[in-house]
């Protein structure tokens, strides 16, 4: 069986990228392989993770360069894994294939433009919700507005800080959901 080629777009440490790489090694992801990693931040640690794993990787802060690399690699699926830039309608349309994103809350809560990273967890704690989690969704022109693929809940503890909550959401939800979503989408198409 021919595996789907995945490009992972990152902006920082690449912890979700590492979860995807680890899932490939463990055989959780069987129908796809990470063929390309692109960061819009030049010194993102995730680029070092890609290098260590032997994955071709680039720093581009321009969507046209990103798209050129994605097309050159014949990418089937684009995965936003801590990519802190909203893709333009033109990019989404030009790629034409599935683009998925992991968001650190249960959409439709604490999402949309400006709600990303630690800010999501700060808002959840400020609001006083008892359950949060993560959502994998398709990307469209509305930030966090695409069809939901999968969600996983994480209970909030009384002594949680934004940092402890962020870590638990990553470990219990993001690192589980994202690899499984990649496998499911790869098997479908």
Question: How far is the C-alpha of 35 from the C-alpha of 41, rounded, in Å?
Answer: 19
Tell me the per-residue pLDDT of 37-73, one tens digit each, with 9 for 90 and over: 999 999 999 999 999 999 999 999 999 999 999 999 9
Establish whether 103 is a catalytic residue: yes
Question: How far is the C-alpha of 179 from the C-alpha of 64, rounded, in Å?
Answer: 27
User: Can you say how many angstroms the Cα of residue 183 is from the centroid of all Cα atoms in its chain?
Assistant: 14
Tell me the per-residue pLDDT of 91-109, one tens digit each, with 9 for 90 and over: 999 999 999 999 999 999 9
Identify the pLDDT of residue 189.
64
User: Residue 38 maps to which CATH number?
Assistant: 3.40.50.170
Measured from the Cβ of residue 90, the count of other Cβ atoms closer than 10 Å reads 12
| 137 band by pLDDT with thresholds 50, 70 and 90 | very high
Q: Which of 43, 65, 73, 103 is catalytic?
A: 103
**Count of domains for the chain:** 1
Query: Closest Cα partner for 105 from 60, 136, 126?
Result: 136
- Residue-range definition of the domain harbouring residue 9: 4-188
Report whether pLDDT(163) > 90.
yes
pTM of the model: 0.96
């Amino acid at each position: 069986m021919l595996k789907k080629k995945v490009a992972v777009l990152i902006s920082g440490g690449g912890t979700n990228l590492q979860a995807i790489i680890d899932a490939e090694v463990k055989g959780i992801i069987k129908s796809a392989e990470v063929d390309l990693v692109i960061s819009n931040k030049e010194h993102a640690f995730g680029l070092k993770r890609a290098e260590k794993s032997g994955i071709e990787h680039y720093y581009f802060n321009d969507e046209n360069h990103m798209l050129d690399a994605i097309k050159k690699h014949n990418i089937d699926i684009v995965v936003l894994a801590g990519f802190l830039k909203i893709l333009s309608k033109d990019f989404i349309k030009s790629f034409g294939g599935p683009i998925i994103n992991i968001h650190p809350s249960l959409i439709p809560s604490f999402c949309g433009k400006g709600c990303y990273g630690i800010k999501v967890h700060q808002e959840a704690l400020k609001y006083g919700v008892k359950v949060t989690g993560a959502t994998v969704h398709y990307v469209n022109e509305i930030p966090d507005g695409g069809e939901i693929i999968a969600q996983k809940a994480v209970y909030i503890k009384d002594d949680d800080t934004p940092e402890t909550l962020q870590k638990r959401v990553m470990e219990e939800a993001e690192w589980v959901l994202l690899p499984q979503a990649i496998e499911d989408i790869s098997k479908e198409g």
